[in-house]
Structure 1
Amino acid sequence: MSAHLTPGPFGKSLNEVLASPALNVLRMAALAASQDDGIDEETLDMMYEQVAAGVLVDLAPDLAWRELERGLSARAPSRMLRALRECDALSVLLPEVDALFGVPQIADVPDQVDIGEHVLRIVDEAARCDAPFAVRYAALVFNVGKSDSPREHLPVHYRHIERGGPRIEAISSRFGVSGDCLDLALLANAECERVHRAAEMRAGSITAMLERVDAYGQPERFDRLMTLCTCDFRAYPGRASRPYPKAPMLRTALAACLGVDETAIRAAHADHPDKAADALLEARAQAVATALQSRRWEE
């Protein structure tokens, strides 16, 4: 048996680990995420045999999630996910994520990437920047709507947002994932690619996006979305050390919007709430145009 099966990696004795083959598989994978040398071939073979024997089929989702959460919280979550995939456990636990491997997505150089491999790089980037767990979870699942995009459209993924939302909800329900994790994952599914296109937007569109994601009312969630988008950007080949300009740009836009006197605008249109909302949006858009210091934003 592998030397990795030592007492106490998660506060459990060797006998306790071995008492449940299903938990043994998951704990070995989760432990790999916190180690430098990964899992040896002998142990991987043992894990594969146990998965093939069906040990994961009846494992309670809350117990499975406990180990998945540990691995995602470690310094190299991709090692856990890769180990689970190599022993066929990922297809049992997270088939929605496993289905992303082998699916192409547009990139710069090279011109396409494998989405599954890209997800592994995103979760590691999130760990590298010590992102909150909600960001790591969103990084794991926000692309799941792309697994079955029509082949004739690949590497473009039309309507993946509509496909992704229900799948993210299903994964989160299955494992009892916390509401803040689900919320950020759904937000990332809907908005990440729009954030990447922010430089192409006019001031009014940027202002509308900030309102749509409730950046004013939930600034911490907005900041986590920026972190996730930054991790996604840096996960593409050749971008690991490059700055991500969209995040500071949108933070500048948000600061400009928060500087608008909303109370005064609503008071000036107290008898016409609809006009007040339009006036507020217009004032914020003008503030964004000024803050970004470009005439094109005013068009």
Structure 2
Amino acid sequence: MSEHTAEQGLEAYLVGGYVRDKLLGRSHSDRDWVVVGSTTEDMLARGFQQVGKDFPVFLHPRSKEEYALARGRDADGALITGPHITLQEDLERRDLTINAIAMDADGRLIDPFHGRRDLEQGVLRHLPAFADDPLRILRLARLAAQLGFSIADDTRKLVRDLVAAGKLQQLPPERIWQETHRALCSPSPRRFIEVLRELGALQEILPEVDALFGIPQPEKYHPEIDTGLHMLMALDRAVQLTQDPLVRFAVLVHDLGKGATPPEYWPSHRGHEALGVPLVDRVCHRLRVPGRYQKLARKTARYHLMVHLAFELKPKTLVKLLNDLDAWRSPEDFERFLLACQADAQGRKGLEAQPYPQADFLRQIHTLTKDISAKDAPAHISGKQIGREINRLRCGKIALLKKQNSLA
């Protein structure tokens, strides 16, 4: 571990997530180093490549690992760097105790804020500098989702105070999406949503999701009743089905339309699919969610109920559904869509293990019809007639499949 730092003669320490994950016995993230007692000029003279401007970060000439000069604060609280900044000053400006542990070139730990104790106890505890960046609220929730840790009581109080003071409103949307995406890739996206809600932050960054909690659904179809709880259960099922964050995001927002149902119609949510699409768009536009995520989420919000009813649909309706889903041109997204629908169907109390044959039925339809193209149409037709003929042929295949299934 020490060959790069030793050969350069630097006082350098591993810090942050690498040290934390190593102590937890988890797969290690990229290694980050902090350098004490050096300057920009010294780093450049040693062959490092500068990649940061305000607070210089350097790439090692051979390993390409990142080395940052130690940072502290001046009398006015502004961040500064310089050869006089100590390791402890650098560590104390970090967010949490578990992220403020350093390791020297020989593997010895420097742990002035007892982060190792909090790692052993599974606790997320803030340092005074936590309040410097409101993004740390989302990182706190994301780490809770990644590590399964609890949050210290005084940290909870601090976060609630920061949220009440409107600090989250200062965050650029790209940063909110970045943390949300990382949480969707975690072992428990549900925990991310739950922590944000418990701390009052969910209504600030995802009010459309927060609005689902407390809204009833028909117990006949949703024994868990609460729409927000259903969404969390569906998210859990999505995690079991796939690691794909596109599917998990689609499940997160698939029922937003239920939050727009007038209370006088509760617990019914007729038409929630169409109501949900503009709400999905609103979330995606506000957080600048990538287009491919928005595209799948819109399809899931709009068509998930049709998939649940697939066996009842006529061949013509099924062909239109697959056309609307662009299933023949985008089979990968079609499969993602089916997984999201399955997560929705199985994300219900007591029904988590029920079969979902609708997805396999639609996969069969796709397989049967995917190779039908203009070459199968009569040579004498053209233009829109070709499209109609392709649809007719697909309907014929589907009708035959439905007949065979009923005979079976």
Interval of TM-score (by shorter of Structure 1 and Structure 2): 0.7 to 0.9
1:125 equivalent among 224, 231, 237: 237
Given the alignment, which residue of 101, 104, 109 partners 2:216?
Answer: 104
In structure 2, stretches of 5+ residues that fail to align are 1-14, 21-28, 33-90, 96-129
Moved more, 102-111 or 199-208: 102-111
User: AA paired with 2:94?
Assistant: E
What TM-score do you get using the length of structure 2 for normalisation? 0.66
Contact 2:185/2:243 (8 A) holds in 1: no
In structure 2, how many angstroms separate the alpha carbons of the residues matched to 1:110 and 1:248? 23
Distance 1:261 1:35 in 2: 50
Determine if contact 1:44/1:83 at 8 Å carries over to the other structure. no
Residue 83 of structure 1 is aligned with which of 195, 208, 215?
A: 195
SS at 2:93 equivalent:
helix
* Structure 2: distance between partners of 1:187 and 1:109: 22
2:376 maps to 264
Counterpart Cα distance in 2 of 1:190 and 1:91:
24
Over aligned residue pairs, what C-alpha RMSD do you find? 2.4
Query: How far does residue 296 in structure 1 lie from its aligned partner after superposition?
Result: 6.5
1:203 aligned to which of 295, 315, 327: 315
CA distance 1:129–1:264, shift in 2 (3 Å): closer
Q: Secondary structure at the match of 2:146?
A: coil
Matched ranges for 1:121-160 at <5 A: 121-160=233-272
SS at match of 1:33: helix
Q: Secondary structure at the match of 2:261?
A: coil
State the distance in 1 between where 2:250 and 2:136 align: 26
Contact 2:342 2:359 in 1 (8 A): yes
For 1:74, give the aligned amino acid: S
AA matched with 1:146: K
Cα displacement string for residues 62-115 of structure 1 (whole angstroms, at most 9, x for unaligned residues) = 122221111111010111110000110000001111011111123546646211
Q: How many residues end up aligned between the 2 structures?
A: 290
Q: Which deviates further from its counterpart, 213-222 or 131-140? A: 131-140
C-alpha displacement at 1:216, in angstroms?
0.7
What amino acid does structure 1 have at the position aligned with 2:93? N
More helix by percentage = 1
Aligned 8 A contact 1:106 1:112 in 2: no
Q: Report the TM-score, using the length of structure 1 for normalisation.
A: 0.88
Pairwise CA distance, 1:47: 1.7
Conserved in 1, the CA contact under 8 Å of 2:254 and 2:276? yes
AA paired with 1:260? I
The offset of 1:197, in angstroms, is 0.8
Tell me the distance in 2 between the aligned counterparts of 1:228 and 1:14. Answer: 43
What stretches of structure 1 of length at least 5 have no aligned partner? 1-5
Q: 2-side partners of 1:14 and 1:198: how far apart?
A: 57
Q: Is 2:112 the counterpart of 1:34?
A: no
Which residue of 173, 180, 191 corresponds with 1:61? 173
Deviations 1:135-188 (A, max 9, x none): 111111121121131222222223333432222112111111110000011111
Using the aligned pairs only, state the percent identity: 30
Moved over 4 A (4+): 9-14, 109-112
Return 287-296 or 203-212, whichever deviates more: 287-296
- Answer with 1 or 2: which has the greater Rg: 2
Question: For 1:67 and 1:110, how far apart are their aligned partners in 2?
Answer: 30
What is the letter of the counterpart of residue 319 of structure 2?
T
- Confirm or deny that 1:241 pairs with 2:353: yes
Q: 1:264: how far off? A: 2.3
Do the aligned residues in 2 keep the contact of 1:226 with 1:247 (CA within 8 Å)?
yes
Q: Tell me if the contact between 2:213 and 2:229 (Cα under 8 Å) persists in the aligned partners.
A: yes
Structure 1 residue 226 displacement after superposition: 0.2
Using the alignment, how far apart are the partners of 2:334 and 2:140 within structure 1?
Answer: 35
Report the residue type matching 2:398 in the other structure: V
